[in-house]
């Protein structure tokens, strides 16, 4: 085991990492390549990061791959991204399944090409009993859309009195139902915005921003983010020392 590896071994490993995979376009531009080459490089990198997460013992990995705002992009880029997800499922699912990866989808299914909807649903179904790593793909996802969608479903299914609307009830109707909140959210490429990603779920997440462009965000960069996370003191709105005193009071 290298010195770096043993460093990660001794640190707190976030149970759930969520990533805003940003910078594919700039990565391609810097190489005078078309934007799609950046998205393909980003896809290869995602494979490496999935592997690193299983190695490090991360249990949940959420990746923001296509947002509700990405429909504003030119049609050929949108079509290219839809094709990438379809190809990834065709090419990688058997291997991911063998590796014990469960695939989940968060986002609005309606609006996606019907063939892709079927492919996503069957990949989710095929891998539903795997538990080594839960890979959550945010595709046609936006937090505001998710919250509106949750309220529509609550009104339809539960018709609650106002006092019956609780945080637990709202959480139950989000796309992320049953998934623990992310411990660490990483955004690559130097941008420092949340961009409509997991707004409800990330209120107490640790955020980590790096200038590295997504296709270059490798295993070592992930390890660095995990080490930085391990050094943070998470208080969840409380006062850590006071909480500690209470814990040790008796």
Give catalytic residues, as residue numbers.
Answer: 22, 70
Task: Tell the smallest beta-carbon distance from residue 220 to ligand FPP (Å).
Answer: 19
Tell me the sheet residues that pair with 138: 64, 106
The DSSP symbol for 105 reads E
Q: Under a CB-based contact definition with an 8 Å cutoff, are residues 81 and 25 in contact?
A: no
Whose Cβ is closer to ligand FPP: residue 88's or residue 225's? Answer: 88
Task: Tell the smallest beta-carbon distance from residue 48 to ligand FPP (Å).
Answer: 12
Q: What residues from 113 to 142 belong to the interface with ligand FPP (CB under 6 A)?
A: 137
The phi and psi torsions of 238 (rounded to 5 degrees) equal -95, -175
Question: For the chain, what percentages of helix, strand and coil (3-state, to nearest 5) are there?
Answer: 50, 15, 35
Q: What residues from 175 to 214 belong to the interface with ligand FPP (CB under 6 A)?
A: 189
Contact flags string 49-78 toward ligand FPP, x per CB under 6 A: --------------x-x----x--------
Residue position matching structure tokens 């705002």: 69
Task: Tell the smallest beta-carbon distance from residue 26 to ligand FPP (Å).
Answer: 3
Q: What residues from 211 to 230 belong to the interface with ligand FPP (CB under 6 A)?
A: none
Q: Exactly one of 14, 17, 22, 145 binds ligand FPP (CB under 6 A); which one?
A: 22
Measured between alpha carbons, how far is residue 107 from residues 67, 100, 197 in Å? Answer: 8, 23, 11
Which among 17-25, 109-117, 219-227, 239-247 is the span making contact with ligand FPP, rule CB under 6 A? 17-25
Q: Does 48 bind ligand FPP (CB under 6 A)?
A: no
Q: CA-to-CA distance for 14 and 16, rounded, in angstroms? A: 5
Helix (H) or strand (E) holding 209: strand 206-209
The phi and psi torsions of 184 (rounded to 5 degrees) equal -135, 130
Task: Tell the smallest beta-carbon distance from residue 69 to ligand FPP (Å).
Answer: 9
Q: Under a CB-based contact definition with an 8 Å cutoff, are residues 44 and 117 in contact?
A: no
Q: Exactly one of 14, 42, 107, 142 binds ligand FPP (CB under 6 A); which one?
A: 42
Positions that interact with ligand FPP (CB under 6 A) = 21-26, 39, 42-43, 46, 63, 65, 70, 84-85, 88, 137, 189
């Amino acid at each position: 085991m290298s010195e770096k590896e043993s460093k990660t071994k001794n640190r707190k490993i976030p149970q759930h990492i969520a990533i805003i995979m940003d910078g594919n376009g700039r990565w391609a531009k810097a190489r005078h390549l078309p934007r799609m080459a950046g998205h393909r490089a980003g896809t290869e990198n995602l494979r490496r990061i999935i592997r690193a997460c299983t190695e490090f013992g991360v249990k949940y990995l959420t990746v923001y791959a296509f947002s509700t705002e990405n429909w504003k992009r030119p049609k050929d880029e949108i079509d290219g991204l839809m094709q990438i997800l379809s190809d990834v499922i065709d090419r990688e699912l058997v291997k991911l399944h063998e590796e014990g990866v469960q695939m989940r989808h968060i986002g609005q299914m309606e609006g996606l090409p019907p063939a892709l909807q079927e492919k996503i649903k069957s990949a989710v179904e095929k891998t539903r009993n795997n538990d080594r790593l839960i890979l959550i793909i945010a595709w046609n996802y936006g937090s505001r859309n998710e919250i509106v969608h949750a309220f529509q479903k609550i009104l339809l299914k539960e018709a609650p009195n106002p006092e019956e609307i609780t945080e637990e009830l709202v959480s139950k109707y989000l796309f992320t139902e049953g998934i623990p909140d992310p411990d660490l959210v990483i955004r690559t490429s130097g941008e420092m915005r949340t961009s409509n990603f997991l707004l409800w779920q990330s209120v107490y997440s640790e955020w980590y921003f790096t200038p590295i462009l997504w296709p270059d965000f490798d295993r070592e960069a992930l390890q660095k983010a995990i080490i930085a996370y391990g050094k943070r003191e998470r208080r969840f709105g409380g006062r850590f020392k006071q909480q500690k005193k209470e814990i040790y009071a008796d």
